Amino acid sequence: MVHGISDSLLSSTILAWDTDGFVDGKKKKILVATAMNTAMFRNPITQRNLKLLNELMGGADGWVEELQTISKGLACGDVGQGAMATVDTIVAAIEEKLGLAAKDSRDEE
């Protein structure tokens, strides 16, 4: 993603993304929720690419937002950093970006 390689449907979609709102006047963010084992997460190449992602495409005016990995039991059997953010965290981030208020049971009373 950081290097502009387009060898899959997802990476082609990202390269075609309207990063500055030129097409329809609306700047839309891509939420990135990574998942990997701890060794992959700690790899210097991975860390460099995550840093580049945030420097080049992230920030308040950027078009990419990285949802941080969490530490827990991983699919490989290890316990450590690299697990994808929780479903609740991902849903909350999507709702925030779309301007949707999460329903509270008190709202229905």
Backbone angles phi, psi at 31, to 5 degrees: -95, 130
Q: Residue 101: what pLDDT? A: 72
**Tokens 């992230």 identify what position?**
58
Closest of 21, 34, 12 to residue 61, by C-alpha: 21
Q: Which residues are catalytic?
A: 76
pLDDT digits (tens, 9 = 90+) for 79-101: 999 999 999 999 999 999 888 87
> Measured on CA atoms in the order 6, 46, 2, 53, is the torsion positive or negative?
positive
Average pLDDT score over residue span 1-25 = 90
Residue 104 has pLDDT above 70, yes or no: no
The answer for residues whose C-beta is within 8 angstroms of residue 14's C-beta and 6 or more apart is 1, 6, 30
Q: Give the model confidence (pLDDT) of 33-61 as tens digits.
A: 999 999 999 999 999 999 999 998 888 88
Is the pLDDT reported for residue 32 higher than 70? Answer: yes
Closest alpha carbon to 37 in 90, 84, 2: 84
